Amino acid sequence: MSASDVVIVSARRTPIGAFLGALSPLSAVQLGSAAIKAAIESAGIGAGDVQEVIMGCVLPAGLGQAPARQAALGAGVPIAAPATTLNKMCGSGLKAVMMA
């Protein structure tokens, strides 16, 4: 492997809960931050090692600008790491892998 190879070291998704259940007070950005933190922990790396975040968010209305950026910063990812929000309905995860 060369230093320029692209690798996906970890991936996680947000939890699935009941309608108006225990997770309902959390925004998609907060859930995204938790998923990014879990992916970083699972990979055994530091948040400072993340070079890019690609995150799916199917219903971004009301979240403000750049939900992936907000989630990445909330997870401690450096501000220099680019973040991309995808909205491909059920295909967001696969599209994220294709873009990586």
Label residue 7 exposed, middle or buried (CB < 10 Å: 0-12, 13-18, 19+).
Answer: exposed
CA-nearest of 76, 94, 77 to 86 is 94
Which single residue is written with the structure tokens 């060369």? 2
**What confidence tens digit (pLDDT) does each residue in 18-27 have?**
999 999 999 9
Q: Which tokens is 58 given?
A: 């199917």
pLDDT of residue 94: 84
**What confidence tens digit (pLDDT) does each residue in 29-79 have?**
999 999 999 999 999 999 999 999 998 888 888 898 999 999 999 999 999
Residue 6: what residue type?
A: V
pLDDT of residue 68: 95
Tell me the domain boundaries of the chain. Answer: 28-99
What is the fold of 28-99?
Answer: Peroxisomal Thiolase; Chain A, domain 1 (3.40.47)
CA-nearest of 79, 84, 88, 72 to 40 is 72
What predicted TM-score, i.e. pTM, was given to this entire model? Answer: 0.86
Query: Of residues 53 and 13, which shows the higher confidence score?
Result: 53
Q: What is the C-alpha separation between 10 and 97, in angstroms, rounded?
A: 11
pLDDT of residue 69: 97
pLDDT of residue 46: 95
CA-nearest of 75, 76, 74, 98 to 86 is 98
pLDDT of residue 88: 87
pLDDT of residue 1: 65
